[in-house]
Amino acid sequence: MNLYIFSIFIIFLSFLLILLCNKNSFLMNKTGDLHQEYAGYSDIPLAGGVIIFSSMVISSFYEFNSIFWYLAAMFFIGLLSDLKKLNSPMIRFLFQLLLIIFCVYSSNIILNTTKIVFLDYLLGNYLFSIFFTSFCILIIINGSNFIDGINSLVIGYYIIVSFALFFLKNNGFQFSFNFPINLLIICLLVLYFLNLFNKLYLGDSGAYLLGFLFSIELINFYTQTIISPFFIILLLWYPAFENLFSILRKTNFKKSPIIPDTNHLHQLIFAFFKSKNYSSIKSNNITGIAINTYNAIIVLLATINPAHTQFQITLIIVNLLIYTFLYMRLFRYR
């Protein structure tokens, strides 16, 4: 599809959907949940996922192959959550797990080597490799949803990953995706500015869709190229570690790992800026931009040598140390 036509389509669709949602009070963020209202905004359309999915349909990103239908099902789970038709986190989790396992098995999207000797030995078992791959994808999907509490954070993060892949594809790395990466970047850029100015939110449908989409494509990317598996881990480190850290944190405080709260790192950073007498919207935007600026620098460094395992591991360790240090300081501050 022509880039200019696609850009005009996405802009038109976005404004039309925002207008219709506002006019008909449809897909509005009026849940009353503390973790969604801590920034002070509740009357915003949860339209981002609908726009991303619509753009995939119109531009035939997946040409309606089996992967497309799995993505459509994941989007639908998120949409039901946004519409408050599927309120139970446990039921959503089970639906996601079953869908991912079927997708991994039927499409043969399997991780079979990680350069970790013990884990590679276990991955030699076909059933273990299916469940391990499914677990990794599940972590990314829900991690993406966890960090979707600050304007521009999720969309901006996946824009960074998309640009990294676009850069590699144009600098000697031969691989194919099921979607045109340049069209996806355009779609995400339009949504980024609308989200930054608080005109729409991704919603669960958007966060689930992006997490699932990038998980699948990055596994395919890894299997098609000679790169370190730790480069893929680094590209997805933030939503993955946010989820894993949240599980450990909630378990330590004897809380359910799947129930949302307001103690994620981005929420602590937001609270810090808010305590400095910044407005909610300003604190919100500064937080998202600051986190993504850091991630952009890390991803830029990683793309210098994506095949160098020790370099990628070093960057991952730096990320984990900085995240943990910031979290501990801000948690005490709050």
| Per-residue pLDDT at 333 exceeds 80 | no
The tokens 């599980």 sit on which residue?
Answer: 247
Spell out the residues 6+ positions from residue 307 whose beta carbon is closer than 8 angstroms to its own.
Answer: 226, 227, 228, 231
pLDDT at 31 over 60: no
pLDDT, mean of residues 172-200: 87
Structural domain of 19 = 3-333
CA-to-CA separations, 147 to 151, 158, 240, 295, in angstroms, rounded = 10, 12, 10, 13
pTM, full prediction: 0.93
- According to the model, what pLDDT value does residue 40 have? 52
The answer to whether the Cα torsion of 242, 208, 84, 51 is positive or negative is positive
CA of residue 333 relative to chain centroid, distance: 28
- In this prediction, residue 321 carries a pLDDT of 97
What tokens were used for 181? 């990466």
State mean pLDDT over 183-193: 94
Residue 37 predicted with pLDDT over 60: no
Q: Which residues pair with 45 in a beta bridge?
A: 28
Task: Give residue 334's pLDDT.
Answer: 64
Token pair recorded at residue 18: 């925002």
- Count of domains observed in the chain: 1
> Given this model, what pLDDT does residue 33 score?
53
Neighbours of 2 (CB within 10 A): 9
In whole angstroms, give the CA distance from residue 326 to residue 331.
8
